Structure 1
Amino acid sequence: MKPIYSRIVATGGYLPERILSNRDLEQMVETSDAWIFARTGIRSRHIAAPGEKTVDMAEAAARQALADAGLNAADLDLIIVATTTPDQIFPSTACLLQARLGNRGAPAFDIQAVCTGFIYALATADRFIRSGGARHALVVGVESMSHIVDWTDRGTCILFGDGAGAVVLSAGDQPGIISTHIHADGAYADLLQVPGGETRIAMQGNAVFRVAVRTLGEIVQETLAANALTPAEIDWLVPHQANIRIIEATADKLGLPMERVVTTVEHHGNTSAASVPLALDEAARRGCFQPRQRLLLEAFGGGFTWGSALLRWG
């Protein structure tokens, strides 16, 4: 019996129309465009319109991915949504999305691993397909981070944006997703959190930065070792778009020039679980990836959580 693999057959993305620039933030808090860009690499971010819901953004990205895959919602055997900003406690965003798309009966659920959520969701969908539990899976990362940002805190409000990214995974007999690696350590919970009873992000930025650089370096080495690869055998790095300095540090550990690193942080900001699929979609639509190239996806988020996915494109 031939082994079953999963591969990404299509991507989709959505960004709200409203753009909030660093110049706009200068009118809201004590900061400057130069200060923000020097420390984060961010120039602007997209912000959901009043009344625009998390599920609205998820639907837009999902429909684009389904159209590109040439599939109907009825073809889906699994729907997973990674989000830390659902519209309501329950039903899950995945169930709300399922109803919007018109799928009936497929398992649908959310995963909450903050910025690593899409990697966790991708790893889960990959295992469903490899085990024969699904043939076509929709995986969405979506966030309305503007809903939980303290717009008076210049240390955090400059970082985040809204958006959605989606991929369709399908079963095949050739490796697409080669391996996934996910981890967590709740001992760091107090460094990046939305405390119980509150709705605003609290972050100790310098401490988060140090742990992120270390753990992302470790996950890169873990992924390479698990697949007996050298850094030179990675064609593209598709990182979580949190901070350009973290991205550059990870690329440096791989020995990859920035020309082979997908970066959207300048105009997206940190869209948490949406950032990796949005970056993947944007790069795919620019024609960056060639068939069978190796892509390394990685992310780090509150929890702390971190993870990676190694895949062949197309």
Structure 2
Amino acid sequence: MTRRSIIAGTGSALPKRVVTNHELAQTVDTSDEWIVERSGIRQRHMAGEGETTSTLAIEAARKALTAAGIDGSQIGLIVLATTTPDQTFPATATIVQDAIGSNGGIAFDVAAVCSGFLYALGVADSMLRAGMAQRALVIGAETMTRLLDWEDRATCVLFGDGAGAVVLETREVAEDGPGILTTHLHADGAHNELLYVDGGPSTTQSVGHLRMKGREVFRHAVVNLADVLGNVLKECDLSPADVDWVVPHQANQRILDATAKKLGLPPEKVVVTVDRHANTSAASVPLALDCAVQDGRIKRGDLLVLEAMGGGFTWGASLIRF
């Protein structure tokens, strides 16, 4: 027997407003054909009045709690990954904590952009196995459209808003039982200028806009993601053929295709939601995971690989038996 963090429930939330490529083309110098060809995106959800990172996170958290069959008072740890917190401080995780009634436990935010959920998952798993709590909520939530420069047509069409959450619970399981098997995380700050926001409290005292050099990001993403996926499989003496589902960060359909090809993974094993949700940064992986759980593709016992890369650069992967 071994002690592991298992995924007891998943949940997600999306803003009410859906913006298609055609609608976006009414105000941005672009077209549906141009966006689909370069990214695979057909629509995205955009937060409106009264919809914030915390409201989306709270909705996703409540759904995950319901799926796990527990209430908020049983959660001892909340780790929320976001690039777009409601406030500079306090942490958005504390807003979620109060809303679900888990006051008194641990709650904090993690900032690793599109890799944020993987970072949050790794931190929560380590803390649970260290005995700091028995159950955790791990959330990725973003309102990325509020960071966009709508005159930057190459970038503004790529992002959307949303949230996803999982409930983790520590249990004693058999070696071939469920739970997080391993998580690998990396960062390389030398590439800051390729994907960043040009503002912040200590420089401009205001929030800036997202800036990205897409061609260079694409090149690094394919190499880094293929490497980290290979490493988590190697650590557990597994091969791509053993994987039931890859749940990747939904940045760009071309990155998803290229990464799968580099690893020799069939496309039908890759969960894809980028066409419906666009790039929701830290929300991307848990949102895609919940979609595949809800539609019945992902089942108990399946071997999953979650992976992401984002600004920083940060990247990582987690191998999980669901």
Q: In the alignment, residue 27 of structure 1 is paired with which amino acid?
A: Q
Residue of structure 2 equivalent to 1:229: 238
Contact 1:80-1:111 within 8 A present in 2 as well: yes
3-state SS of 1:87 partner: coil
Contact 1:4-1:129 within 8 A present in 2 as well: no
1:139 Cα deviation (Å)? 0.5
1:37 Cα deviation (Å)? 0.2
Q: In the alignment, residue 136 of structure 1 is paired with which amino acid?
A: R
Q: Distance in 2 between matches of 1:272 and 1:46?
A: 13
Residue of structure 2 equivalent to 1:296: 305
Residue of structure 2 equivalent to 1:262: 271
Post-superposition CA distance 1:96-154 (Å, at most 9, x none): 11111111110100000000000000001111111122111000000000110111110
2:194 is aligned with 1:191: yes
Post-superposition CA distance 1:147-186 (Å, at most 9, x none): 1011111011110000000000001112410000000000
Q: Distance in 2 between matches of 1:131 and 1:102?
A: 24
Q: Distance in 2 between matches of 1:61 and 1:255?
A: 33
Aligned ranges 1:73-88 → 2 under 5 Å: 73-88=72-87
Residue of structure 1 equivalent to 2:129: 130
Residue of structure 1 equivalent to 2:91: 92
Q: Percent identity?
A: 53
Q: Distance in 2 between matches of 1:217 and 1:69?
A: 32
Matched pairs, number: 312
Contact 2:142-2:281 within 8 A present in 1 as well: yes
Contact 2:293-2:299 within 8 A present in 1 as well: no
Q: Distance in 2 between matches of 1:68 and 1:221?
A: 31
Q: Distance in 1 between matches of 2:247 and 2:258?
A: 13
Q: Distance in 2 between matches of 1:146 and 1:307?
A: 24
3-state SS of 1:182 partner: strand
Q: In the alignment, residue 32 of structure 2 is paired with which amino acid?
A: D
Contact 2:76-2:102 within 8 A present in 1 as well: no
Gaps of 5+ in 2: none
1:52 Cα deviation (Å)? 1.4
Q: Distance in 2 between matches of 1:157 and 1:208?
A: 16
Residue of structure 2 equivalent to 1:180: 183
Residue of structure 1 equivalent to 2:224: 215
Residue of structure 2 equivalent to 1:271: 280
Contact 2:45-2:161 within 8 A present in 1 as well: yes
3-state SS of 2:155 partner: coil
Q: In the alignment, residue 21 of structure 1 is paired with which amino acid?
A: T
Contact 1:13-1:166 within 8 A present in 2 as well: yes
Q: Distance in 2 between matches of 1:171 and 1:62?
A: 18
1:254 Cα deviation (Å)? 2.7
2:228 is aligned with 1:245: no
Aligned ranges 1:278-293 → 2 under 5 Å: 278-293=287-302
Residue of structure 2 equivalent to 1:139: 138
1:190 Cα deviation (Å)? 0.6
2:35 is aligned with 1:36: yes
Q: In the alignment, residue 27 of structure 2 is paired with which amino acid?
A: M
Post-superposition CA distance 1:175-219 (Å, at most 9, x none): 410000000000000110002325200111111111111111111
Q: Distance in 2 between matches of 1:290 and 1:278?
A: 16
Residue of structure 2 equivalent to 1:117: 116
Q: Distance in 2 between matches of 1:214 and 1:250?
A: 8
Deviates more, 1:253-262 or 1:276-285: 253-262
Q: Distance in 1 between matches of 2:130 and 2:86?
A: 32
3-state SS of 1:90 partner: coil
Q: Distance in 2 between matches of 1:230 and 1:194?
A: 37
1:253 Cα deviation (Å)? 2.3
Q: Distance in 1 between matches of 2:60 and 2:233?
A: 31
Contact 1:4-1:132 within 8 A present in 2 as well: no
1:310 Cα deviation (Å)? 0.3
